[in-house]
Amino acid sequence: MTTAPLAERLTRVPGPLFFPVTAYGPDGSLDLGVYRDHVRRGIEAGAAAVFPCCGTGEFHALAPDEFRRCTETAVSAARGEVPVIAGTGYGTALAVQYARLAEAAGADGLLALPPYLVHADQDGLLRHYTRLAASTSLELIVYQRDNAVFTPGTVAGLARTGNIAGLKDGHGDLDLMRRVVSAVRRDAPGRDFLYFNGLPTAELTGLAYRGIGITLYSSAVFAFAPDLALAFHRALTGHDDRTANRLIDGFFAPFVALRNEGRGFAVSLVKAGVRLTGLPVGPVRPPLSDPSAAQVETLAALLDQGRALLAEAG
C-alpha cells in the first residue's frame, strides 16, 4: 500500500486496467500459483492497475477466505509497481467485511460492486456507499450498473465523500454520464474524481466515451490478449481513430457478437481466452457455464484475425 492518492496512482501508468480471472485447480479449489503467474504476466505486459476478485474474477463465487488469499496474492505479485483494487459487494454489512479483508490483505483500493439483488432508491444507495467508505481507510471506486444506477445529484454526493475516488460506468447511458460529469464539476468543485468506462468489452465504446472526456477503462481482453488490448489503448489515447476502428471492426465487434451468444460469457469467454494462452486457470464456477468447444475455436480464430491486423499495420 502507499499513501499516494488513488487517482494519482491510477493515471501514472499509461495502460489498460487489468481484471484477472481467478484460477482454479483440477479439484476446483484455488490455484494461487497459476493466479500469481496470471497477475504477474498482466503487469509485465503493461497493465496500469490490477483489479482482483471483481466481476471477471468471479467475486460472487469466492468464499471470504478465498477472497482474502487471492487479494494477498495479487498484492504480492504486484510488488507495489501498480495499484491493486479489490472488489467488494453484497449488502452493506458484508461489503464492509470484504472491504476490511481487502485492507488487511494490503490492497490499495476497492471497487464497490452493486448491492445484492435489491433495487434501492437514491438515498439508500448513497447511504450504502458512504457507510462502506466510512468503514475503511481505502479509497473506493463505485461501480454503476444493473440495480445501482445513479442520478447526477447522487454521484455528486458520492464525490463529496472523502475516500470515494471515482465512478465506473457499466450502464452505458452517455447522456447521463455527461450530466454526471457536469454535476460533479459544479457541486464538488476541485475534486479529482475519476470516471471509467466499465462496459463489457469497453473497447467497443471507447471512442464514444473519449468524446465526453472519459479515457480510463477496464479491458477484459487484456487478460488474454494484451497485445490487442494495448494496440487499441495506444490508438485510443493517441487519437489514431483509423487503427482503433480497424481493431473494432476486425476483432472487438466480432468478439462482442461471440460474447453475446451466452449468458455470463463476459466472464467465461474471457477465462476461455486465458486458457488459450496456456495458463491452466480452470473452468468457471457455477452458476456460470463455459463456452462450447466450437465457441472456443471461434475465439481462437478471432485472435488470429486480430493479430493479422496488427501485423498488417506493421
From 52, 99, 42, 48, select the one nearest 72 (Cα to Cα).
Answer: 52
Is 15 within 8 Å of 233 (Cβ atoms)? yes
Is 62 within 8 Å of 71 (Cβ atoms)? no
Is 214 within 8 Å of 236 (Cβ atoms)? no
Number of Cα atoms under 13 Å in the Cβ half of residue 23: 23
Cell of 203: 473497447
Question: What DSSP element (H or E) covers 109?
Answer: strand 109-112
Looking at the annotation, which residues are catalytic? 143, 168
Q: How many CB atoms neighbour CB 249 within 10 A?
A: 11
